[in-house]
Amino acid sequence: MTGEPIVAARGLTLSFGAIRALADVSADLYPGEILAVVGESGSGKTTLLNVLSGLTRPDGGTVTYRETGGLTRDTHAMPAPMLRALQRSDWGFVHQDPRRGLRMNVSAGGNVGERLMAQGARHYGEIRKEAVAWLEQVEIDPGRIDDLPRTFSGGMLQRLQIARTLVTRPRLVFMDEPTGGLDVSVQARLLDLIRSLVARLGVAVVLVTHDIAVARLLGHRIAVMRAGEIVETGLTDQVLDDPGHPYTQLLVSSVLQA
């Protein structure tokens, strides 16, 4: 862990009516590290991700983001244009369903180029060159640059979404179950890809998953959530090899062995 955290959450609370989605959650994310958030369905993982990325406003608590220059900003207090600018350049969001993160009626190249154009890129040739380079990085045949995403398989769609997100070289990426709904061999290749890209670009990632194996493979640190609380946090291997909290023990022991 080097220096100051890039994202720091303190005392987050959020309720949807009687449902307590977040109950006093605090977490830190350091530059270049992958924080895996695990827990069962309804434990508040995705809500936490939405609050950290500024999509949902918490009832209480703060999220601060540390800019490149070292200045810290309150994610939920910054003006809307600034938040939007961060969301489309320095940050990225990878949805579980790639159809939510992609424009399905726009070609693969247009999808990858959109964030560049939103940032002011105005040279068609260079946008296209960048799109080709990114398709290659995520192992999609560059010959399919003008194809519509609906002709792509599920795994390709997810890789396209990752290319579209990483094209602006963000410092911080939020991933919500990026391997959900894919079969095991496709999942393995995707995990490998995410791990190598993230390591190469030095991106900080908050990764939400219900799959302990994914967390073990990708996460540097892990946070175990249950009923809106983080019950245990620490280095991934440490937590998973020697779980302290009874709930973590249950989670680890309920993984099926192949």
Partner 1 sequence: MKGYNFAYLDEQTKRMIRRALLKAVAIPGHQVPFGSREMPLPYGWGTGGIQVTASVLGQTDTLKVIDQGADDTTNAVSIRRFFARVAGVATTTRTAEATVIQTRHRIPEEKLTENQIIVYQVPQPEPLFRLESSRIETKRMHGLADYGLMHVKLYEDISRIGQISISYDYPVMVNHRYLTSPSPIPAYDNPKMHGMAALQLFGAGREKRIYAIPPWTDVKSLDFDDHPFRPINAAEACGLCGAEDSYKDEVVMDDRDGRMFVCSDTDHCEKRRART
From the list 11-19, 43-51, 99-107, 190-198, the region that binds partner 1 by CB under 8 A is 99-107
Kindly write out the interface string for residues 62-81 of this chain, putting x where it contacts partner 1 by CB under 8 A and - elsewhere. Answer: ------------------xx
Residue 244 CA from chain centroid, whole number = 26
- Identity of residue 142: P
From the list 102-110, 171-179, 194-202, 241-249, the region that binds partner 1 by CB under 8 A is 102-110
Nearer to partner 1, 70 or 125 (CB): 125
Task: Output the six-digit token pair for 118.
Answer: 């939103």
Smallest distance, Å, CB 95 to partner 1? 17
Task: Output the six-digit token pair for 206.
Answer: 């908050």
Instruction: Please give the Cα distance from 6 to 161 (Å, whole number).
Output: 23
From the list 20-28, 67-75, 124-132, 241-249, the region that binds partner 1 by CB under 8 A is 124-132
Kindly write out the interface string for residues 134-153 of this chain, putting x where it contacts partner 1 by CB under 8 A and - elsewhere. Answer: -----------xx-------
Kindly write out the interface string for residues 104-123 of this chain, putting x where it contacts partner 1 by CB under 8 A and - elsewhere. Answer: --xx-xx--xxx-xxx--xx
Binders of partner 1 among residues 172 to 231 (CB under 8 A) are none
Where on the chain is the footprint of partner 1 (CB under 8 A)?
A: 80-81, 84, 88, 103, 106-107, 109-110, 113-115, 117-119, 122-125, 127-128, 145-146
